[in-house]
Structure 1
Amino acid sequence: MSDYRKPRQARAIPTFEAILEAGAQLLGEIGIERISSNLVCERAGVTPPAFYRYFDDKYALVAALADRLMERQNEVLEQWLVRQQGASLEEVVGDTIGLLRETARIGDEMPGSLWILRALRAIPRLASIRLESHAYVTGRLTDLYEKLLPDVSRAVLERRNRLAVDLGYAIDEMIRENDIDREAVFEDARPLFQAMIAYPEYPGARSA
């Protein structure tokens, strides 16, 4: 995002990280509407000029936190993809729940993750972070399933995987918004992922 700037000098990194940590904590405590740059500065122990050296406003701070969340989730995806090498279609689809669990763990480890997910859907200037992440995950999953479903066109697989990715992010948000049995949600989702990805191809799927 153009409205936040990473530090160029090593000595500035602790200040940048302190601001990010304070912002994440405050997001989790009071939400995006009540958070302000002044509150973040007070929590981080920095001055407003230090804040604005890196962030144009609180939404730029959320953008930086969102980028970090998406990057960590992408790392989990890459690790999961390595584990799928040599697996069958049924095994890969079945272990999608494992990917959901790992993605949820990343959110658990980052304070304010629920508000970050909400912001990516609700604030237009942050939408590109969500869309770029969805496109990346969709492409990587399509690369995997293209090897397992060689008779189904890539366009169809991309469409199905995009549906699956959107469902996965919706589940990650759902389990944080409600007092709900997340394992039950994961198991409810299992047949949905199987249906979206591995169902028999319909007429025209080869060329769609």
Structure 2
Amino acid sequence: MSIERAAPRPRPQQERSQQTYELLLNVAGELLAEVGIDRISTNMICARAGMTPPALYRYFDDKYAVLEALGGRLMARQNAVLDAWLARYEPGGVASLKGNIEELLRDTAAVTASEPGAVWILRALHASPRLVHVRVASHRLVTDRLTDAYLRHLPGVDRDQLWRRLRISVEIGFAVDEMLQEEERVSADLAFRNAARMLQADLED
């Protein structure tokens, strides 16, 4: 069953409005880290930001719209890491891409760790039917970009087959990132190293 959702409002264009928009997101991220998805509310966000509810509703319809924007911002920052990584290593071909998967995992995780309330944002993108589309669309975009990069050096490979293989790899990579937000019994070094080896091995054939 599909979930009906309102189209997200466009980001504000004026500088002052952009600053207010980012302030609301930063405050919401901090509150998420403190109280979690269920307890956070637009009233709490407004009180922390020193704003009135009508001011917040100029930008967001409800708390789920705030969470959607937080998820979109986090995914965009993670995807910027991918773009920089591809610029560095795609010219070197498949061996260069495969050989530097661990760096991509580490750099992506560093962006996630720097985001206020990241673990709760990620939980919301999994748990809420209204928000799942943010994560899925972003992971598909990452898969598209990786597929394009590999195909430039593998002209005889079927695109759809490669896309499906890489889509699974992308999900594994992000799952490792999310695990490190919660699991203290696995070191980041071990997680990145093992995940990179597994993903490299999957691309061997």
TM-score (norm 1): 0.89
Which residue number in structure 2 is paired with residue 185 of structure 1?
191
SS in 2 for 1:46: coil
Of residues 125, 129, 154, the one that matches 1:124 is: 129
Query: Match for 1:105: what amino acid?
Result: A
Query: Match for 1:121: what amino acid?
Result: H
> How many matched pairs?
199
- Partners of 2:126 and 2:112 in 1: how far apart? 16
Percent of aligned pairs sharing the same letter:
46
Deviates more, 1:118-127 or 1:83-92: 83-92
Which residue number in structure 2 is paired with residue 99 of structure 1?
104
Whether contact under 8 Å (1:146, 1:154) holds in the other structure is yes
Query: Match for 2:171: what amino acid?
Result: D
Q: Which runs of 5+ in 1 are unaligned?
A: 201-208
Give per-residue Cα distances to partners, 1:126-174, cap 9 Å, x unaligned. 1111111111100100111113333321111101100011001111100
- Partners of 1:3 and 1:142 in 2: how far apart? 28
- Partners of 1:176 and 1:150 in 2: how far apart? 38
- Partners of 2:108 and 2:180 in 1: how far apart? 12
Which residues of 2 match residues 2-17 of structure 1 at below 5 A? 2-17=7-22
Is 1:32–2:3 an aligned residue pair? no
Query: Match for 1:95: what amino acid?
Result: N
Of residues 142, 149, 153, the one that matches 2:154 is: 149
Whether contact under 8 Å (2:101, 2:200) holds in the other structure is no
Which residues of 2 match residues 52-201 of structure 1 at below 5 A? 52-179=57-184, 180-196=186-202, 198-200=203-205
Q: Which runs of 5+ in 2 are unaligned?
A: 1-5
Which residue number in structure 1 is paired with residue 3 of structure 2?
none
Whether contact under 8 Å (1:19, 1:40) holds in the other structure is yes
- Partners of 1:174 and 1:184 in 2: how far apart? 12
- Partners of 1:146 and 1:87 in 2: how far apart? 13
Query: Match for 1:191: what amino acid?
Result: R
TM-score (norm 2): 0.91
- Partners of 1:186 and 1:165 in 2: how far apart? 13
TM-fit CA distance, 1:2: 2.1
